[in-house]
């Protein structure tokens, strides 16, 4: 029964990891940017939510409605300023610039908010309550809700990308930037929209992680960024639903690792990542080899 | 840049290709003098100064290795802290078995070079950004793996044994000399590698990978060599770190901050030049020393400076010098001279 429990918990945490990963995958798919500051931006979203909640005593779920648009606007602005100008200068520059952003954010949070861990919505009934399946399996409502949110976000992204006119623009620019530009698409604006979507989703991920666990300035790189990348690579680069699959595989691997030995939780996840690299470097969902 | 292959240019006595306008022997002699003077420092300065210089040696060694990878081989690694940590732990393991940490250092570095081979097999499947992140995940996995061993101190680490009965002044001096030796060896290795056949292959790859491959350049082998050499260099720096700290703590030696520091020092100084990491390390040390009392501020400013340099001065501070003076202290490229004083020499390679 303990193993079944581990698998169920792993699948549900996979939803959280998909929230971290889908924005990263979108950024890579559309503009070939590997955003090393992704996790730190999620932590910023969590900190902003905490700030809003303590300042205005707004209910936690309402803070989401405020923080996600704020992060989306930040994403658009970041893309149109630093990331766009680094894109024009090559892959190395985008890596250096996002690594620089990551270091500035992480140490900025450390400097202004100390290394203390902070949770979101501690004591809230959503965070503490759970239900039982049989006698041995306890499932937290929070994880179920996060998983549902992840599925809704992925459905929304899929609908947006395939159905809306902006979505078509994004796919056109991702396919062939020059041809899209010749047809009159302003690729910079399209990139900005994609970055706004990416940061909106990762803001959800940051807040969800703050409710599920605790945030501190190093959570962004130590946990969120690495898990997001592992989920993206396991699931297959550039695949939206692959991030959910990758997140679930990572979550299950971690829970099974923890079941074997409590200190092996993280290592088990990374070992699965390395196994995927060896056996199926293009990821689980992708058919063609990546370049 | 196509002169080398353009056969329509008549090869006459007026052309000749040299490494540099200046005589390399002079800069070689200059480098030797600098190393000798630095080697005398423990006799003339306080131990506080040598301790700061040991930090500079570590950063300079790391930056030179990162520069070799990113600046010449196109391998942008964010996981070099994996080798820093492994180097530190290999020194610790050998010291626990009774070897002097100073003697353990070269063995540990070579050992990490061997470990780099299977790791290359894993990460070489990914390119550019995903190569970067795969190395990072690998470094995290190595740290978690090492933390499993309670005999190595688990998650808290261990003090480095093997110094009992030694005079503290002597330890400080030895640490300094070992750090200096590692840095000098690392920079010499990079220079020799790039002057040789490997440098030619890497230049060809940088200019046009497909053309280089079709001309028979063994691109994969060249990248493998660079990855292994960088692994050895970063491990040696990690060993120096362990010796200078007198302890090995997993989260400290495997911190991604090492990679951030080596990358930013390289970018600020100038990527793809041997001089760049030296300048970048100097900038880093000045920032760190002047802002040390303001906690995390030097890292914030370092990150901002790196972003600004990456966006607005792509060739770094040394690039600004080179543009104006055409100066290369450690030339690894070629100059084409057209007759006696007939125009400015052209660089065939930046």
User: pLDDT, tens digit, for every residue of B49-62?
Assistant: 888 999 999 999 99
Report whether B236 contacts B61 (CB < 8 A): yes
Q: What are the DSSP calls for A123-175, one per residue?
A: T-HHHH-EEEETTTEEEEHHHHHHHHHHHHHHHHHHHHHHHSHHHHHHHHHHH
**Interface contact A280, partner B, CB < 8 A:** no
Percent residues over pLDDT 90 in chain B = 47
Query: Residue B348's pLDDT band (boundaries 50, 70, 90)?
Result: very low
CA distances from A239 to A18, A244, A274 (A): 11, 9, 19
Q: What is the pLDDT of residues B155-201, one digit of tens each?
A: 888 999 888 878 888 889 999 999 999 999 999 999 999 988 888 88
Evaluate whether B269 touches B316 at the Cβ level (below 8 Å).
Answer: yes
Is A83 domain-assigned? yes
User: Residue A234's CB: how many other CB atoms inside 10 A?
Assistant: 28
Residue B294 domain flag? yes
| pLDDT at position B339 | 52
A291 CA to chain B: closest CA distance, Å? 6
Within-domain flag for B10: no
Contact of A4 with chain B, judged by CB distance below 8 Å, is answered with no
pLDDT at B71 over 60: yes
Question: Which residues form the domain of B190?
Answer: 15-347
Could you tell me the pTM of the whole model? 0.88
Q: Identify the residue whose tokens are 């030097």.
A: B298
Chain B CB within 8 Å of residue A286 CB? no
Query: Would an 8 Å CB–CB cutoff place A87 in contact with chain B?
Result: no
CB atoms within 10 A of CB B159: 13
Q: Measured between CB atoms, does A278 come within 8 Å of chain B?
A: yes
Q: How far is B316 from chain A (nearest CA, A)?
A: 12
Please tell me the total count of domains within chain B. 1
User: Using CA atoms, how far apart are residues B345 and B342, in angstroms rounded to an integer?
Assistant: 8
Q: Which residues on B lie below 8 Å from A28 (Cβ)?
A: 129
Residue in B closest to A262 by C-alpha: B148
Q: How far apart are CA B221 and CA B227, in angstroms?
A: 10
* Interface test mutation site (partner A, options B310, B312, B315, max chain A beta carbons within 10 A): B310
CATH number for the domain that contains residue B109 = 1.10.3470
Q: Is A114 on the interface with B (CB under 8 A)?
A: no
Nearest in space to B133 (alpha carbons), one of A230, A29, A42: A230
* Long-range CB contacts for residues B37-40, cutoff 8 Å, separation at least 24: B38/B180, B39/B177, B39/B180
pLDDT, tens digit (0-9, with 9 covering 90-100), for B208-224: 788 888 888 888 899 99
Q: pLDDT value at position A51? A: 92
- Answer whether B125 sits within 8 Å of A266, measured CB to CB: no
Smallest Cβ–Cβ distance between A91 and the set B129, B136, B311 belongs to B129
Inter-chain CB proximity B300 and A104 less than 8 Å = yes
Phi/psi zone of residue B179: left (φ > 0), alpha (ψ -120 to 50 degrees), beta?
alpha
Spacing of C-alpha B69 from chain mean position: 8
- CB of A275 within 8 Å of a chain B CB? The answer is no
Task: State the Cα–Cα distance between residues A145 and A12, nearest whole angstrom.
Answer: 9
Q: Looking at A235-244, A248-257, B9-18, B121-130, which range is the least confident one? A: B9-18
Nearest to B300 among A89, A108, A271 (CB): A108
Of A34, A89, A91, the CB nearest to B314: A89
Q: Which pLDDT value is given to residue B20?
A: 62
**Chain A residue at shortest CA distance from B132:** A95
Q: Among A34, A100, A246, pick the best mutation site for testing chain B contact (most B Cβ within 10 A).
A: A100
The answer, for A228 touching chain B at a CB cutoff of 8 Å, is no
Tokens read off for B213: 């491959």
Question: Using the beta-carbon criterion (under 8 Å), do B303 and A34 form an inter-chain contact?
Answer: no
* Residue B271 to residue B277: CA distance in whole angstroms: 8
Mean pLDDT computed over A51-78: 91
Burial of A192 (0-12, 13-18, 19+ CB in 10 A): buried
Query: Is B30 buried (19+), middle (13-18) or exposed (0-12) by CB count in 10 A?
Result: exposed
What is the number of domains present in chain A?
Answer: 1
Q: Which pLDDT does position B338 carry in this prediction?
A: 59
The answer to whether A30 and A177 are in contact (CB under 8 A) is: no
In angstroms, rounded to a whole number, what is the distance separating the alpha carbons of residues B101 and B301? 35
* Pick from B137, B271, B299: CB nearest A229: B137
Judged by CB atoms closer than 8 Å, whether chains meet at A96 and B307 is answered as yes
Q: List the single residue in B137, B296, B310 with the smallest CB-CB distance to A97.
A: B310
- Report d(CA A105, CA B299) in Å as an integer: 10
- Tokens found for residue B182: 């590692």
Higher pLDDT: A16 or B336? It is A16
At residue B242, does pLDDT exceed 60? yes
pLDDT digits (tens, 9 = 90+) for A97-128: 999 999 999 999 998 988 888 888 777 777 77
pLDDT at B19 over 70: no
In the prediction, which pLDDT does A119 show?
Answer: 87
Token representation of residue A176? 């062939």
Does residue B2 lie in a domain region?
Answer: no
B123-143 burial code (b ≥16 CB/10 A, e <16):
bbbbebbbbbbbbbbbbbbbb
Best residue in A88, A99, A278 to probe B by mutation, most B CBs within 10 Å?
Answer: A99
Task: Work out the pLDDT band at B337, boundaries 50, 70, 90.
Answer: low
Contact B295 A111 (CB under 8 A): yes
Given CB atoms, is A291 within the 8 Å cutoff of chain B?
yes
Nearest CA in chain B to A35: B129
Complex ipTM > 0.90? no
Comparing alpha-carbon positions, the chain B residue that sits nearest to A95 is B129
Q: Is residue A258 part of a domain?
A: yes
Task: Choose, out of A103, A106, A232, A270, the residue to mutate when testing the contact with B (most B CBs < 10 Å).
Answer: A103
* DSSP code for A218: T
Distance CA B204, CA B207 (A): 5
Residue A289 lies in a domain: no
For residue B335, what pLDDT band results from cuts at 50, 70 and 90?
A: low
d(CA A41, CA A76) in angstroms, rounded, equals 13
Distance CA A65, CA B7 (A): 66
3-state SS, residue B335: strand
Q: Which residue of A has its CA nearest to B251?
A: A222
Q: % helix / strand / coil in chain A, to the nearest 5?
A: 80, 5, 20
Q: Which residues of A touch B78 (CB under 8 A)?
A: 36, 95, 99
* Dist. CA A271–CA B43, nearest whole Å: 50
C-alpha span between B101 and B160 (Å, rounded): 8
Helix (H) or strand (E) holding B79: none
CB pair distance less than 8 Å for A278 and B122: yes
Which of B122, B140, B300 minimises the CB distance to A277? Answer: B122
- Identify the pLDDT of residue A73: 96
Rounded Cα gap, residues B333 and B350, in angstroms: 7
pLDDT digits (tens, 9 = 90+) for A141-174: 899 999 999 999 999 999 998 888 888 888 888 8
User: Does A62 fall in a domain?
Assistant: yes
Please report, for chain B, how many H helices and E strands are present, in that order.
15, 5
The string of pLDDT tens digits covering residues A226-237 is 999 999 989 887
Quick check: A103 and B302 CB within 8 A? yes
Distance in angstroms (rounded) separating the CA atoms of residues B111 and B235: 9
Six token digits for residue A72: 């989306």
Is A111 an 8 Å CB contact of chain B? Answer: yes
Q: Which residues of A touch B138 (CB under 8 A)?
A: 270, 274
Integer Cα distance of B50 and B340 in angstroms: 47
**Cα–Cα distance, B29 to A32 (Å, whole number):** 46
Residue A37 lies in a domain: yes
> What pLDDT does residue B211 have?
84
Domain membership of residue A176 (yes or no) is yes
Lay out the sheet containing B15-18: strands in order across. Answer: B15-18, B335-338, B346-347
**Pairwise CA distance, residues B237 & B61, whole Å:** 6
Q: Given 3-state DSSP classes, what are the helix, strand and coil percentages for chain B, each rounded to the nearest 5?
A: 70, 5, 25
Q: End-to-end distance of chain A based on CA atoms, in angstroms?
A: 42
| pLDDT at res. A205 | 95
We report the CATH number of the domain holding residue A23 as 1.10.3470
Q: Which residue has the tokens 């010499």?
A: B188
Q: How far apart are CA A79 and CA A189, in angstroms?
A: 9
Please answer yes or no on whether A96 and B297 come within 8 Å at the CB atom: no
Identify the domain containing residue A105 by its residue range. 2-279
DSSP-assigned letters across all residues of B93-146: HHHHTT--HHHHHHHHHHHHHHHHHHHHHHHTTS-HHHHHHHHHHHHHHHHHHH
Whether residue B284 is contained in a domain is answered as yes
pLDDT mean over B223-227: 94
Listed range (A49-53, A84-88, A216-220) with the worst mean pLDDT: A84-88
How big is the A-B interface in CB pairs under 8 Å? Answer: 128
């Amino acid at each position: 029964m303990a193993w079944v429990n581990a698998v169920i918990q792993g699948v549900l945490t996979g939803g959280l990891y998909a929230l971290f990963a889908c924005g990263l995958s979108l950024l890579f798919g559309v503009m070939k940017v590997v955003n090393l500051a992704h996790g730190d931006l999620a932590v910023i979203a969590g900190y902003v939510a905490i700030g809003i909640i303590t300042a205005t005593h707004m209910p936690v779920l309402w803070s989401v409605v405020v923080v996600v648009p704020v992060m989306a606007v930040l994403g658009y602005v970041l893309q149109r300023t630093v990331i766009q100008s680094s894109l024009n200068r090559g892959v190395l520059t985008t890596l250096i610039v996002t690594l620089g952003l990551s270091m500035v954010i992480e140490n900025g949070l450390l400097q202004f908010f100390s290394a203390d861990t902070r949770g979101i919505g501690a004591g809230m009934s959503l965070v503490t309550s759970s239900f039982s399946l049989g006698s041995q399996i306890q499932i937290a409502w929070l994880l179920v809700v996060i998983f549902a949110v992840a599925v809704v976000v992925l459905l929304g992204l899929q609908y947006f990308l395939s159905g809306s006119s902006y979505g078509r623009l994004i796919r056109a620019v991702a396919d062939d930037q020059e041809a899209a530009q010749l047809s009159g698409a302003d690729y910079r604006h399209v990139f900005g929209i994609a970055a706004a979507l990416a940061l909106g989703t990762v803001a959800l991920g940051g807040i969800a992680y703050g409710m599920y666990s605790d945030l501190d300035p190093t959570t962004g790189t130590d946990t969120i960024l690495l898990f997001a990348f592992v989920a993206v690579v396991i699931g297959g680069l550039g695949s939206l639903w692959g991030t959910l699959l990758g997140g679930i595989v990572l979550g299950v691997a971690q829970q099974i690792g923890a079941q074997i030995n409590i200190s092996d939780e993280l290592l088990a996840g990374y070992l699965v990542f390395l196994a995927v690299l060896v056996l199926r470097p293009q990821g689980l969902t992708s058919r063609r080899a990546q370049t | 840049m196509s002169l080398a292959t353009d056969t329509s240019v008549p090869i006459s006595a007026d052309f000749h290709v040299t490494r540099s306008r200046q005589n390399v022997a002079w800069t070689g002699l200059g480098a030797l003098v600098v190393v000798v003077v630095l080697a005398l420092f423990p006799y003339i300065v306080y131990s506080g100064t040598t301790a700061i210089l040991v930090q500079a040696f570590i950063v300079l060694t790391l930056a030179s290795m990162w520069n070799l990878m990113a600046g010449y081989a196109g391998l942008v690694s964010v996981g070099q802290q994996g080798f820093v940590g492994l180097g530190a732990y290999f020194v610790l393991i050998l010291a626990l078995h009774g070897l002097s940490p100073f003697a353990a250092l070269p063995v540990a570095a070579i050992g990490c070079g061997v470990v780099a081979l299977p790791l290359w097999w894993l990460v070489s499947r990914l390119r550019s950004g995903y190569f970067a992140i795969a190395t990072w995940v690998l470094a995290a996995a190595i740290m978690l793996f090492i933390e499993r061993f309670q005999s190595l101190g688990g998650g808290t680490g261990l003090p480095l044994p093997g110094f009992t009965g030694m005079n503290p002044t002597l330890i400080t001096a030895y640490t300094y000399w070992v750090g200096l030796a590692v840095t000098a060896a690392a920079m010499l290795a990079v220079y020799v590698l790039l002057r040789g056949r490997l440098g030619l292959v890497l230049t060809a790859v940088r200019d046009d990978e497909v053309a280089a491959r079709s001309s028979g350049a063994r691109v994969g082998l060249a990248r493998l060599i660079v990855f292994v050499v960088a692994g050895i260099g970063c491990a040696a720096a990690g060993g120096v770190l362990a010796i200078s700290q007198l302890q090995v703590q997993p989260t400290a030696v495997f911190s991604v901050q090492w990679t951030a520091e080596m990358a930013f020092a390289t970018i600020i100084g100038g990527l793809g030049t041997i001089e760049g990491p030296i300048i970048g390390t100097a900038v880093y040390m000045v920032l760190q020393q002047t802002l040390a009392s303001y906690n995390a501020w030097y890292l914030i400013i370092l990150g901002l400076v790196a972003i600004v340099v990456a966006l607005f001065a792509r060739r770094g501070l040394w690039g600004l010098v080179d543009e104006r003076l055409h100066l290369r202290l450690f030339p690894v490229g070629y100059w084409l001279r057209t007759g006696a004083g007939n125009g400015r020499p052209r660089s065939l390679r930046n």
